[in-house]
Amino acid sequence: MLKGAGRGFLHAALIGALVMLVSDIIAQHLLPTTQLPVGVVTGACGAIFLLWLLITSGRSGRVN
């Protein structure tokens, strides 16, 4: 199943772990009086990335 995707799978797993770690740190320290759920921070970052993809694909007509 992962025979041809070894390197790509490893990179995706490491980047996913890094995104979750950074999101957790931001969620813990963003508001001094309370902690946000990690999903709120991750969802906000994902929404910004989705908007960026939509804006850039609108100019060229396709997503790279």
Q: Does residue 47 form part of some domain?
A: yes
Q: Is residue 39 part of a domain?
A: yes
Cβ-contact 42, 23 below 8 angstroms:
yes
pLDDT in tens, the chain (64 residues): 556 656 788 888 999 999 999 999 999 998 888 888 999 999 999 999 999 988 888 766 565 5
Q: Evaluate whether residue 46 is within a structural domain.
A: yes
Domain of residue 35 covers 6-60
31 in a structural domain: yes
Sign of the alpha-carbon dihedral angle for 32, 38, 42, 47? negative
Q: Quick check: is 1 in a domain?
A: no
Domain count across the chain = 1
Whether this model's pTM surpasses 0.85: no
Whether residue 53 is contained in a domain is answered as yes
